[in-house]
Amino acid sequence: MNLIDRFLSDEQDPKAVEKVLGKLNDMLTANEELIYMAVQKKPAVNLLPDCIAVSNKRIFYCEPGNFGITMNFKDISWKSVKEVSFKEEIFGSKFICVPLHGENIITEYIPKVQARKLYQAAYAQLEEFKEQQRLTDLEERRSSTSPVTVNAVTPEPIEEPVTVFSQPVVSPPAAPAEEPEDETTLKLRKLKSLYDKHLITQEEYEAKKANILDSL
């Protein structure tokens, strides 16, 4: 299976995918990979469809311009996304991205199967980003807490004996360190969450679970 075939699994427009994919590959950063792409399918004329692509770092919005001669790209990183959702309608579905700031980004006429898989991919990446951010914040809080050192002062020798009463310094018990889950456990837990929310079928769940376990 070549690179383009990966994004034609749900009857996406091949011409649109080929045109967009060639430009998106040049925009990807280090360690960034595309996960899923959905192509708009308007009920009447579908000559210039919009495309939405999800990578492990952001969402790309690809809109044709100048009657298809040019292609305009906009993107939003996961750190700027609050949540994602989709809504099925008579003609396809709406894919909705809710940013932390600004108005919602809504794309209409996404075929229902593509909208569902687009949402699954986006939701999984957003949750993974939030979990990584949580672990990073936890690590930063740990490193910013420096231990307190108590220096004992040796009294000067005196001629007459003096009894000195000192109050022992009791350090508070250290909080047990949380051990972050390994990557495989994290992926399995997120996959189970998608299945429990009925976002994927049992067959999809078992297949993806087997793929994760095979990669060990």
* Closest among 105, 130, 127, 138 to 189, alpha carbons compared: 127
pTM over 0.75: no
What pairs with residue 15 in β-bridges? Answer: none
Q: Can you give the pLDDT at residue 39?
A: 94
Q: Can you give the pLDDT at residue 208?
A: 83
Q: What distance in Å separates the CA atoms of residue 88 and residue 94, rounded to the nearest whole number?
A: 6
Q: What is the pLDDT along the chain (216 residues), one digit of tens a residue?
A: 567 888 888 989 898 898 899 889 899 999 999 999 999 998 877 678 899 999 999 999 998 877 667 789 999 999 999 999 999 988 899 999 999 999 999 999 999 999 999 999 999 999 999 999 999 999 999 988 755 555 555 556 556 555 555 555 555 566 555 556 678 888 888 878 887 887 788 888 888 888 888 877
Sheet strands side by side (includes 81-88):
81-88, 93-99, 105-110
Q: Phi then psi for 117, rounded to 5 degrees?
A: -70, -35
Q: Can you give the pLDDT at residue 28?
A: 92
Q: How many CB atoms lie within 10 A of CB 13?
A: 16
**Whole-number Cα distances in Å, 90 to 2, 108, 112, 166:** 33, 11, 10, 80
Both tokens of 7, joined, read 């994004």
Q: How many CB atoms lie within 10 A of CB 109?
A: 20
Contact (Cβ atoms closer than 8 angstroms) between residue 164 and residue 98: no
